[in-house]
Amino acid sequence: MKLILVRHGETEWVRQGRYQGSSDIPLNRRGILQARAVAKVLKEEKPTVIYSSQLLRTHQTAHEIAKTCRKEITVDKRLNELCFGDWEGHQHVRIHQKFPKASIAWYEAKWNSCPPGGESLKSLDRRISSFLTDLSQHYSTDSTHILVSHGGPIRMFLVRILKIAPTVFWTIRIDPASISTIHLTVNRKELVLLNSQAHLNGYRRKK
């Protein structure tokens, strides 16, 4: 089984360095072009299923992939981004200045820590573990599953599948419109691609 993990394209809040979480922010112009670039490179994958979170930015990205691959989209709320509660809409740097202790605890990936009014990593772990359990029931060696999601869930897929220490959660970089690929067999799990943006050409924002 091949799992292709795709983060949604750029939004204005991504560009501005703001927490998005459960806020339903659409792709900006660059994000739409990025989604089309992702779709173009994934056309040859001939996916068995294309999954998307419920949020608009992922659905717009998945739509471009589904249109190119001529597949329907299966929406699953377990792929939604973490809820960042009171932090949503605020810039990362401002939150770190205003809530230094909570911010430090959050980025130490403490399982029970969460933004004020937000969701914990433990909660996200339950969602992704449940999705993986259901996916395993449809296991096929030659199947390809495209999952269009967000930075948080994609990191959790990597942590759970590859059995990485949860403390490294936030050290895994997942950029907008990036592609990460995992091959799963009965006896082996291989990370083949991580946070690739080679397909974006001129649509990748300079760091």
CA distance 91 to 79: 23
Identify residue 133 by its one-letter amino acid code.
T
- Partners of 170 in beta bridges: none
Starting at the earlier edge strand, list the strands of the sheet with 179-184: 73-75, 49-52, 144-149, 2-7, 179-184, 189-196
CA distance 184 to 181: 10
- Partners of 11 in beta bridges: 27
Q: Which two tokens stand for residue 6?
A: 């795709």
CA of residue 181 relative to chain centroid, distance: 12
CA distance 90 to 137: 40
- Partners of 193 in beta bridges: 181
Report, as residue numbers or ranges, the catalytic residues.
Answer: 8, 150
